[in-house]
Structure 1
Amino acid sequence: MSVSVTARRLTAAAAVAAAAVGALALPAAAAGQPAARPHDRAVVISDVQYDSPGRDDRSNWSLNKEWVDVTNTTRRAVNLDGWTLSDEAGHTYTFRHFRLDGRSTVRVHTGEGRDRYGDVYQDRRAYVWNNDRDTATLRNDHGRFIDEASWGYRGDDRDHRGGDQRNGGDRRG
């Protein structure tokens, strides 16, 4: 076997190996969602109360008993300015001028109220989170997916968190 044939075979083998490595790396980038920056993945939806206790009378008290907790699991503060929290119907809350300290949680209430360090308010007069099933989705200020919490779905692989799954019925239509 000549040196040129051996060199061509080695070159071909190297090209096949490079193509295989490239093919393995491609699905992660082509999955439709850009990879989140490392600090983005440290912010999570840690709990959801989608069915406020008592009658669903749309009182401000009842609306504010419906909430989503967003937690920063790292030691570093994260600027949430421009981040959004939304449901499947497209109701969206946008954080404005809010910095979440390290290892802390902010509760996003549905009703009206005065924003404080650990509590912010969507200032809505109607419920957002469906009792029977829904998904809370958190996105960063670039619209990139950060986390989600779903409830009421059976047989899927979504993350089911928070709330009392015994209560059913969509009161929000």
Structure 2
Amino acid sequence: MAMAFATGGAGLGIPLPDDHTGPGSLTTLEDALGTLLEGNEKIPLSAFAAALLNLLATQAAPASLVGPFLTPLPRLSYARKAKAFELLERTDSDLVALLDVHFPEPLTGSVSGLLKFVGGALLTLALFAALGEYAVYDPATKKLTARPVGWRLTGYEGRVDGLPDFKGYYQGREEAAGDA
């Protein structure tokens, strides 16, 4: 409810795209988000995070309300996207103050920590997805189909099967005997 109040009270009037308008009178992002958050339904964290980032994108650059992409965040330059994430992680931001006041006890005052975590987690997960092996991993063969981007950027040569000194038994031993 606090998020619905914060975004609904922001009065930004972010219009929903023509082909994504909701039922009835839902024509703005605030209306749609408020309706979604006021219900008793479970909502995916991704919907909340996307709405939050798009709201912050409009604060970082109000001109992002219009443009070639569907939502405000992709319309920003990298510098402005960094500014949006900075707004998310700052404990003294207007968004944090607005949300903190409207959360019920015992959550009052804890939003700043939650938002810092969300901001850091979003960046970490995005980097993990972009730089990991998932995009080139074939589950059927359990092999990589190409060299992952992260490997190229870091100069990683791939898996090492072991150093020659440690292959087989150490110093020619064939079994482990204990004196215990």
**Which TM-score band applies after superposition, normalised by the shorter structure?**
under 0.3
- Between Structure 1 and Structure 2, which shows a larger proportion of helix residues? 2
TM-score (norm 2): 0.24
Relative to the length of structure 1, the TM-score reads 0.24
Structure having the larger proportion of residues in strand: 1
Q: Larger relative CO (CA 8 A, sep 6+): 1 or 2? A: 1
